[in-house]
Amino acid sequence: MSREYGDQTLFYPAHPTKAGLPGCKRINVVAVNGVYGGNDDTQPWRMKGQKRCWIEDWFREKNPGARILVWNGRTKEATCWEDLLSHGIILVEILKRFRANDSNPVLFLCHGLGGFVVLKALSIAQENGLEDINSDSTNVIFFGTPLNNTKLKDFKGALRACATIELGVSDRKVDPVPAEYLDVFSHLTNLVVTAKIASLSFYEEDSSDYASGSIFVKNRRKVVDFTMASGHELHPIGLARDHKHIACITNEIYEAYIYPILEKTGCLERISSQISNAGASVATGASTQTNTVNILSSSPTANDTTSTRTRNTSISNPYLQKSSNSPQTETNSTAVQPAIRNISDVSLNRPTIGVQSSRFVQNQVGQSTQSLAITGPPQLHSISFPKNDHFVEREDILKEIASKVLCNIIPENPQLNQVQADKTPAFAVWGSPGQGKTQTALRFSYLHMNLFPYILWVSADREQKLLEGFSQYAKALGIVRKDSNDLVFDANALVQWFQTRDCPWLLVFDNAEDTKLINSYWPQNGTGVILLTSRDPVFATSTVAGNGRELTSLSEDAALKMLKADIPTAHFDENEGRKAVKLMGCLPLGIQALIGLINDAGCHLSTFNEQWNSTRTLLSDITVQHVYRNFAPYEKALADVWFEELQDLKKKDAEAMELVDLIALLDPDDIQEELLALGANVQSLRDSGFVKNRVRCLKTLKRLVSPNTSVEGAKYRRFHVHRLLQASTQIQMSPDSRQNAFNSVAKLLSKAISSRWETNWPKIRLEYKEYFPHVQAVQKFYEDFLASNDLKKLKVPVEFLTMLRKAGELCYKRSFFQLGLEILATGENIISNPEWRSIIVGDEADIRFEFVELHYAHACIGTEIPDFTMSLDHFRKAQDYYMEMTSLGFPKTNGHALLGGIANSLNGLGRDEEAEPLFLQALAHKPATQKFSAYEVNISRCMMVQGKLKEASDRLLDFIRRREEAFGPDDTQDYLAGHAMYVLGNVRIREGFLDEAFDLHLRTLKCFEPTYGVSHHKTGNARLKVAWHLARVGKYEEALVHLQTALKIYQSGTDQVYRRRDIARTYYKMGLVFAKMGQNEESQKYLTDAKKLRQELWPQLPTEDVDNEEAYDALVSLWAR
């Protein structure tokens, strides 16, 4: 016995000598367990108390020519439904190896729900023409598999009961089969008749001890009875077994039913009269009679401890019956063929489901833009760089990484007991630039590639790039739609997918910088491994990985080995080589650059050392081609690697150098030519050389600026540059070139990002994806310069303030509130400087306008956090700047928005009598071109709170009517229609019209998902409201789905700290729903968590405080209720 085909399999080879004896049949037997969660792979095939299962005991003795494979998926109750299908995918890959160079027949033995693993595998084999898996010589025997889908309700109940018993848990811990999966399982049963297989089905004659709640109730339920096992013209055979032991057969059962199949080595249609001589007593009657085998199956023997009762059980063999197509003649019925149908094709309309979590599938309810994907690949390796065959040394850290993270992957590892099963093993490689952190992680990935079916390498220095990497991998797996544009949703889906895997995976966060970002997308699953590279040692602490090590320079011997391997033997001398590597300080990147320069010079090392006898001379001559390698294109170089080339460029092409200076301030990984082209639309830039001659300049820079993979048909190209090229360029900038680059990049980005009033959500998402990383890079450049220089040495163009403000507004729209506040803080610090007139350059009207807008944007984020005190403070600061601006005679702009903003804050603070007149003023002064205003809805909410229900209702009905006239009844032009229906629904609740309120809140959700996005907190609020209605009408399971989805929204991303009040409220509502469902243990858990979090949020709770729904509603803002 071995695990040759994976740690979830047991393999028994054919007997080395007996298999070759005359008459010994060669056959492949594949036994597939049900959704069994334990590590004892033979348990479903062994009676309690027995040490060995019948497959490895007497079955092997009787069939020495059989190759036997036992598969145990080791499923968990939380993911059992999707695991059935994903295991079918994995089984196909295992069978390909198992059946390699073996054309002998296959017999599948399926326990319970393991039958669907086999059916899924056969479905894939049929669709892909895999004749070695699905052929005329393929046989399947089902032990307690529900195959009758005539009544879907009964079929669904049988599936859940099977899962409960096979997992050995309470039925409360197994989710009902989601509709999407139920449809797939139903279609898979069709393969019993449509695939080229012969089938035999056993059903249970004994009832099972069925776990209900926390108490086992012996309700004598037959989980898979005659009816449930007899779908698709099958004639099942009854065994005196319960579901758990249905596959624990005796020698008599084997001789009567399984031996004939093995004997004929083909499909069951060719079974002959040898059945009558199988060793059992056969009662023969008339040709129209059913033949039976009488077996004392209840008598305890070495092979059967099922029951202490004595009972004579008659087991019918349907394959001894007369075929419906046979002539009605008096003959021995053992020679009659069974009624087996073979149809060559399966319906092409049946769905296929990918490897997703059932809870994740449930969270898709109502989503029109996200749906289940097609079946994903059985393995997927996404590594950014090719294997580096020039890698040297580092064996010590590679061994240390393996000892820390492979504990759960390699069971024999002595460190296994150091890892918690539910905690992902992780390791951080940290150190200064150029030490080879990325290459070390790359080496580990390739060394252990065979251990991991799934590997994802992602650049993690910016949230945007991390989300992009996660999204692309999720799409490649098929767990989100290919056209999905919600990066946070995709990333969370992938994190959950990792968390539900029971096979090894590797996730590499390369160049990590932000601990909060990494922790926000950290899968918790003991079967996976996470590896990080970073300059910051904090990633090795318990804050993140909990394990790590600093990477330092190579030893002299390793550096010499690296040098010797890559220069011609004729040019090498050991002593001269040691001189050279010492000169570079044995820094890996320095040695790599040294090799490039030596090979370029083409001389002996002794001559080389004479010519380049100092570090300064070396660095002045090392260029990009000396450093760059195909296996390490992003390797961290020395600070002045590009010194010579940049100096040369300054002399020969001032316009190209101007473009290099500008690029040095942008995010290096994705520089869009389209952004550079926008300079033609900026009056002060359109005459710049890099704008007019953009194409020529980029051509000149082709050795410095490398193209990214282009999209077919794209008008503009994309590029990337090395980070240390940027650093080197910044160091060499003159004060004038630095100022010009800063001015230009601020103007380009302020032009590229739309105004606050943009409502085209696809455009908003695209701008955030394309331009926000550049904003962060420019902001960092400014902050770094400020920290080391006098601010007066770098003037701030007003466009820089505009860029910061627009980027903050993008964050506001995309719900990245902390990022938005950080961006806005940079601008606010500038305008708060008393000497701002000597710092900021630009038209004074534009400057004062940004004073107003920066505080306005900050206030808007305050209303969403929600911190209405903060928002009121910033709205009033904006109003003060506005009044100062207008007193100086500058144009009035957006004054109505300030009034409305102050009114919003007062409304949020419960000061509605003050808010209402301000809303009225805001509406009276709004621009005539603005047909719809959020303040029309907000004043209605203000009136509702004051009890003015009719006036609020009339306003909202008029607003919704006008929206429908403009955009139709299914208005998703922007969020405003949903906003109005949400508030009107709340008005209807206060009026007592609950059904109408339910409909309005459903329509709200339908509007919010495509506008705000499925991961937006306001979409979560709408789901919470829909859940309240569903619970009110007794649809508790549906309510729970919406509550779980809302909770995931509040807990996702890096800004969940602002949603703690929403989380506490959701916990409480989930506790109430679980209580209504009778799940008191789950209810108490959520109610306890809710109270604990509420006490953290509100430490001064009075001792007489009472937990109720109103108290938790009061935790959140009026806007979220």
Provide the sign of the torsion angle of the four alpha carbons 168, 170, 171, 176, taken in this order.
Answer: negative
Residue 1036, pLDDT above cutoff 90: yes
Query: Cα separation of 775 and 803, whole Å?
Result: 7
pLDDT the model gives residue 614: 61
Q: In sequence order, what are the beta bridge partners of 510?
A: 459
Which residue would you say has higher pLDDT here, 282 or 422?
422
Judgement on whether residues 481 and 580 belong to the same structural domain of the protein? no
Residue 1033 pLDDT exceeds 90:
yes
**Are 459 and 476 members of one domain?**
yes
DSSP state of 483: T
Q: In a 10 Å sphere around its CB, with 0-12 CB exposed, 13-18 middle and 19+ buried, how is residue 105 labelled?
A: buried
d(CA 813, CA 424): 33
Query: Is position 21 within any domain?
Result: yes
Answer whether residue 712 shows pLDDT above 80.
no
Read off the pLDDT of residues 191-248 as tens digits, 9 standing for 90 and up: 776 655 667 889 998 888 765 543 334 456 789 988 898 866 667 888 888 998 999 9
**Residue range 341-365: average pLDDT?**
27
Model confidence over 533-544: pLDDT tens digits? Answer: 997 888 998 889
d(CA 201, CA 681): 74
Average pLDDT over residues 307-320: 30
Residue 888 belongs to some domain of the structure: no
Name the residue with higher pLDDT: 23 or 535.
Answer: 535
In a domain, 1100, yes or no: yes
More confident residue, 826 or 392: 826
In 3D, which of 1014, 1116, 1106, 1005 has the Cα closest to residue 1065?
1116
% of the chain at pLDDT higher than 90: 32
Q: How confident is the model at residue 314 (pLDDT cuts 50, 70, 90)?
A: very low
Q: How far is CA 87 from CA 35, 95, 116, 577, in A?
A: 10, 12, 9, 55
Residue 597: pLDDT over 70: yes
Within this chain, do residues 442 and 498 fall inside the same structural domain, yes or no?
yes
Average pLDDT of span 606-624: 70
Residue 1038 above 80 pLDDT?
yes
Cα–Cα distance for residue pair 375/350, rounded to 1 Å: 13
Give how far Cα 302 sits from Cα of 204, 242, 251, Å: 21, 18, 10
Cβ contact 165:210 at 8 Å: yes
What pTM was computed for the model?
0.51
pLDDT at 368: 29
Q: Which residues partner with 315 through β-bridges?
A: 293
Burial class (CB in 10 A: 0-12, 13-18, 19+), 546: middle
Domain final residue, candidates 955, 990, 1011: 1011
Q: Where does the pLDDT of residue 187 fall: very low under 50, low under 70, confident under 90, or very high at 90 and above?
A: confident
Q: Does 357 fall in a domain?
A: no
User: Among residues 550, 585, 606, which one ends one of the domains?
Assistant: 550
Instruction: Locate all alpha helices (DSSP H) within 1077-1118, ordered by sequence.
Output: 1080-1097, 1109-1113
Token code pair at residue 286 = 């008339």
Q: How far apart are CA 105 and CA 713, in angstroms?
A: 51
For residue 316, pLDDT beyond 50: no
Q: Are 163 and 277 in a shared domain?
A: yes
In a domain? residue 949: yes
**797: enclosing H helix or E strand:** strand 796-797
Least confident of 251-265, 533-547, 1049-1063: 251-265
φ and ψ at 274, to 5 degrees?
Answer: -65, -15
- Taking Cα atoms as reference points, which of 715, 698, 628 lies closest to residue 707? 698
Q: How confident is the model at residue 29 (pLDDT cuts 50, 70, 90)?
A: very high
pLDDT at 996 (0 to 100): 95
More confident residue, 968 or 100: 968
Range in 30-39, 187-196, 892-901 with the lowest mean pLDDT: 187-196
Q: Are residues 1005 and 1025 in the same domain?
A: no
Residue 987 and residue 940 in contact, taking contact as beta carbons nearer than 8 Å: yes
Same domain? For 938 and 1056 the reply is: no
Using left for φ > 0, alpha for ψ between -120 and 50, and beta otherwise, residue 129 falls in: left
Q: Are residues 52 and 149 in the same domain?
A: yes
CATH number at residue 698: 1.10.10
CB 490 within 8 A of CB 484: yes
Give per-residue pLDDT as tens, 638-653.
Answer: 545 566 678 888 888 9
Sorted by sequence, the CB contacts under 8 Å of residue 569 that are 6+ apart come out as: none
pLDDT for 806 beyond 50: yes
Q: Bigger pLDDT: 545 or 891?
A: 545
Place of tokens 């109750």: 77
**CA nearest 260: which of 342, 406, 121, 141?**
141
Is residue 569 predicted with pLDDT exceeding 90? no
- What pLDDT is attached to residue 636? 42
Residue 624 confidence (pLDDT) above 90: no
- Cα 934 to chain centroid, rounded: 34
Question: What is the pLDDT confidence band of residue 1102, given thresholds at 50, 70 and 90?
Answer: low
Return the pLDDT at 285: 31
Question: Does residue 938 carry a pLDDT above 80?
Answer: yes
Whether 65 and 184 map to the same domain: the answer is yes
Which of 275-279, 560-564, 762-766 has the highest average model confidence (pLDDT)? 560-564
For residue range 653-669, what is the model confidence (pLDDT) as tens digits?
999 999 999 999 999 88
Q: Which residue has the higher pLDDT, 905 or 722?
A: 905
End-to-end CA distance of the chain: 61
pLDDT tens column, 124-151: 888 887 877 766 668 899 999 999 888 8
Least confident window among 229-233, 658-662, 732-736, 783-787: 229-233
Candidate from 49-63, 307-321, 477-491, 818-832 with smallest mean pLDDT:
307-321
pLDDT of 967 reads: 92
**How many domains does the chain fold into?**
6
Mean pLDDT check: name the lowest of 118-127, 997-1006, 1061-1070.
118-127
Using pLDDT thresholds of 50, 70 and 90, give the confidence band for residue 870. Answer: very high
Q: Give the pLDDT confidence of 503-524 residue by residue, as tens digits.
A: 889 999 998 989 999 999 999 8
Q: Is 403 exposed, middle or buried (0-12, 13-18, 19+ CB in 10 A)?
A: middle
468 and 410 within one domain: yes
Answer whether residue 265 is part of any domain.
yes
pLDDT of amino acid 599: 85
- What is the per-residue pLDDT for 740? 94
- Name the domain boundary from 960, 980, 1011: 1011
Q: Which pLDDT band holds residue 711 (cuts at 50, 70, 90)?
A: low
Mean pLDDT of the chain, nearest integer? 79
DSSP state of 304: B
Reply yes or no on whether the pLDDT at 632 is more than 90. no
DSSP codes joined into one string, 807-820: HHHHHHHHT-HHHH
CB atoms within 10 A of CB 46: 19
- Asked whether residue 813 is assigned to any structural domain, the reply reads no
Number of Cβ atoms within 10 Å of the Cβ of 23:
5
Both tokens of residue 172? 């409360």
The tens digit of pLDDT for each residue in 62-98 reads 888 889 999 887 787 777 888 888 888 888 888 888 8
Mean pLDDT of 592-614: 83
Q: What are phi and psi of 682, to 5 degrees?
A: -110, 115
CATH code of the domain in which 966 resides: 1.25.40.10
Lateral strand order in the sheet of 671-672: 671-672, 718-720, 706-707
Tell me how many helices (H) and strands (E) the chain has.
45, 23
Mean pLDDT, residues 430-444? 84
Averaged pLDDT for residues 1104-1109: 71
What residues contact 58, with CB distance under 8 A and at least 6 apart?
251, 303
CA pair distance 748, 1113, nearest whole angstrom? 45
Element (H, E) at 505: strand 505-512
The larger pLDDT score, comparing residue 315 to residue 837, is at 837
Residue 666: φ, ψ to 5°: -95, 170
In terms of pLDDT, which residue wins out, 261 or 745?
745
Q: Chain centroid to CA 1053: how far?
A: 12
Between 668 and 949, whose confidence is greater? 949
Residue (of 842, 834, 742) closest to 785 by Cα position: 742
What tokens does 15 get? 């007997």
Q: Are residues 390 and 328 in the same domain?
A: no
Q: Are 23 and 79 in contact (CB under 8 A)?
A: no
- 978 and 1054 in a single domain? The answer is no
Share of the chain above pLDDT 70, in %: 79
Strands 454-459 and 426-430, sheet pairing: unpaired
DSSP designation for 535: S
CATH of the domain at 462: 3.40.50.300
The pLDDT, as a whole number, for residue 727 is: 74
1036 shares a domain with 999: no
Asked whether residue 342 is domain-assigned, the answer is no
Instruction: List the domain range (segments joined by +) for residue 564.
Output: 556-627
| Residue 937: predicted pLDDT | 94
622 or 238, greater pLDDT: 238
Which pLDDT score is estimated for 726?
79
